[in-house]
Structure 1
Amino acid sequence: MLLSKLITTFTTEIVVCISTYVQRTLSDHERYQKTQNVIRHWEAHHE
């Protein structure tokens, strides 16, 4: 009983860590994409 509770807690911790990491990575990627778009837009207007 204790072991299964421990495993459940551990698994939950891992899932939370992974989802947090994924969200952070996605938001960084979106920010990067937006920055690239702004740079491209700016370059297009300043040639």
Structure 2
Amino acid sequence: MSDELAEEACIDGAGPLRFFREVLLPLSKTCRAALFVIQFICGRNQYL
């Protein structure tokens, strides 16, 4: 994450929770989806 995003959120009046919820969570959506798929496949393979 770049410092510019945090600075822009601060200028817009976003607090730490709002910054996390509206900036960091959407940016990490693809990473979370990939981790979900990997965990699902590993869990499924344990039962096969």
TM superposition score normalised by structure 2: 0.46
Higher helix share: 1
Q: Is the radius of gyration larger for structure 1 or structure 2? A: 1
Higher relative contact order (CA 8 A, sep 6+): 2
